[in-house]
């Protein structure tokens, strides 16, 4: 039993081999291939490809004193690395993650833009605007997008919907899965 506990502790340490926080910024080392879950406070986020073994979050606040109000909760298991971000009003951040990663995002509300990321994507927001650069639609298999109230522009997959309780579904030849939902707002799959 002691060996199993020691192995689990060592594995968790390897998954998060480097973590540093500095005035609203975070750098977290992860093992390539580890799925990533991001729980994000309301704000404006730009997510893009960075180094293959790191998650880097650079906070941008309108008031420099607010940088001290940014908090990160980090948890790593053998199955997933997760980061929870809480911050002040009018919070924004640039997030760099590995280019090839399975990504799960829960956004309280705001604007989220994702560019140059390959892998499965499971993204939900209570409200706001989600912009996802699909790049290569043929890389995706199951695709579903839905809004309770708002618009879906799935031009990358040849579709668009607007109004109440709108959904968009398609099935392609690729291996990646894309699930996107917004309570009230818009989804752009470009």
The tens digit of pLDDT for each residue in 138-157 reads: 999 999 999 999 999 999 99
For position 2, what pLDDT does the model report?
Answer: 46
Going by the DSSP 8-state scheme, the letter that residue 158 receives in this structure is T
For position 65, what pLDDT does the model report?
Answer: 78
Domain extents in the chain: 1-109, 120-190
d(CA 134, CA 188): 10
For position 14, what pLDDT does the model report?
Answer: 40
Question: By C-alpha distance, which of 168, 170, 138, 174 is closest to 153?
Answer: 168
For position 22, what pLDDT does the model report?
Answer: 61
Q: Which parts of the chain register pLDDT below 70?
A: 1-23
Joined together, the tokens standing for residue 46 give 């730009």
d(CA 101, CA 180): 16
């Amino acid at each position: 039993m002691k060996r199993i506990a020691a192995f689990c502790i060592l594995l968790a340490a390897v998954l998060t081999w480097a973590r540093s926080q500095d005035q609203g910024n975070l750098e977290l080392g992860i093992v390539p291939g580890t799925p990533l879950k991001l729980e994000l406070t309301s704000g404006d986020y730009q997510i893009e490809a960075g180094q293959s073994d790191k998650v880097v979050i650079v906070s941008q606040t309108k008031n420099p004193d607010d940088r001290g109000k940014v908090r990160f909760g980090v948890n790593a298991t053998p199955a997933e690395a997760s980061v929870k971000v809480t911050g002040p009003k009018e919070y924004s951040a640039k997030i760099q993650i590995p280019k090839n990663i399975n990504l799960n995002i829960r956004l309280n509300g705001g604007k989220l833009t994702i560019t140059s990321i390959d892998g499965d994507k499971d993204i939900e927001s209570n409200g706001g605007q989600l912009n996802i650069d699909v790049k290569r639609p043929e890389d995706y298999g199951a695709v579903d997008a839905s809004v309770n109230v708002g618009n879906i522009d799935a031009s990358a997959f040849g579709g668009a919907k607007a109004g109440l309780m709108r959904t968009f579904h398609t099935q392609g030849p690729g291996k990646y899965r894309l699930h996107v939902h917004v309570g009230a707002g818009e989804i752009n799959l470009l």
